[in-house]
Amino acid sequence: MKSAGSWVKDYFDRKAQTSYKAKNPGSSLAGPESGRKGFVSRYNDPSHPVNNGQLTSVLTGGLLGSKLGLIEWATNSIRESQEAKGNARDEPPSEPFKEKWQRCQCKKKPGLAKKVL
């Protein structure tokens, strides 16, 4: 039972290291791959195309389904065109919607309850 626990612990550690390295490729915290034990199966490796969340990727072993969906493609296309227009006008890049929303929420006046208290 102890060996199973150590295997699971080792697996989750390798998975976390690989995920971090995929998200932050230039980070010094990612560490070298030379001393790290690899994954036995491509289904265990979180950075393999088979693990992108689509059923077609799982069934085809990552050969199909790794392309962006229509919504992601359209979002990226719109963002790139807006950035190109902003660069042509020497404007700073636009901020994400979440940051705009938080900025607008801060500007709102306090309600009646906050005035009384």
Per-residue pLDDT of 82-92, as tens digits, reads 777 777 777 66
Supply the range of the domain harboring residue 14. 4-47
Geometric angle at alpha carbon 74, from 72 and 78, rounded to 5° = 120
Q: Please say whether the beta carbons of 66 and 49 come within 8 A.
A: yes
Residue 96 lies in a domain: no
Residue 80 lies in a domain: no
Residue linked to tokens 């195309």: 49
| pLDDT for residue 103 | 72
Report the C-alpha gap between 68 and 27 in whole angstroms.
26
Residue 25 lies in a domain: yes
| pLDDT for residue 97 | 67
Chain mean pLDDT for the chain:
74
Residue 35 lies in a domain: yes
Residue 20 lies in a domain: yes
Number of domains making up the chain:
1
* pLDDT > 70? residue 26: yes
Q: Please say whether the beta carbons of 46 and 23 come within 8 A.
A: no
Residue 17 lies in a domain: yes
Residue 10 lies in a domain: yes
Residue 86 lies in a domain: no
For residue 16, which of 44, 57, 54 has the smallest C-alpha distance?
A: 44
Residue linked to tokens 């042509």: 88
Report the C-alpha gap between 59 and 86 in whole angstroms.
42
